[in-house]
Amino acid sequence: MVFMTNVLSGFFFVAFSYWMVIVRTRRQVLAVVLAGVLVVALVVPPQAQAQSRVHPLLPDEQRVRSP
């Protein structure tokens, strides 16, 4: 999994760098930057955060228990 992530990151860096070199206008630069930001935002999943219990701030006796 780590190897594939490194390969895809390297490919993205090379492709993004290539597109930044070949653009001619400010509009194309903006389009390439926005495409790059969207790819990074959509491809990279958010980190999962573990949760030890449902109400971590309340002591056990204050939690509402369902019947």
Note whether residue 1 is domain-resident. Answer: yes
- Establish if 59 belongs to a structural domain: no
CA angle 10, 24, 44 (to 5 degrees): 30
State the residue for tokens 């219990």. Answer: 53
Residue labelled with tokens 């949760």? 51
- pLDDT at position 9: 85
Number of domains in the chain: 1
Instruction: Please indicate, yes or no, if residue 14 is contained in any of the structural domains.
Output: yes
More confident site: 25 or 3: 25
Q: What is the pLDDT of residue 33?
A: 92
The answer to whether 20 and 29 have CB atoms below 8 angstroms apart is: yes
Decide if 36 is inside a domain.
Answer: yes
* Segments forming the whole domain that contains residue 8: 1-43
Count CA atoms within 13 Å of residue 31 on its CB side: 8
pLDDT digit string (tens) for 10-56? 898 999 999 999 999 999 999 999 998 888 888 777 777 766 655 55
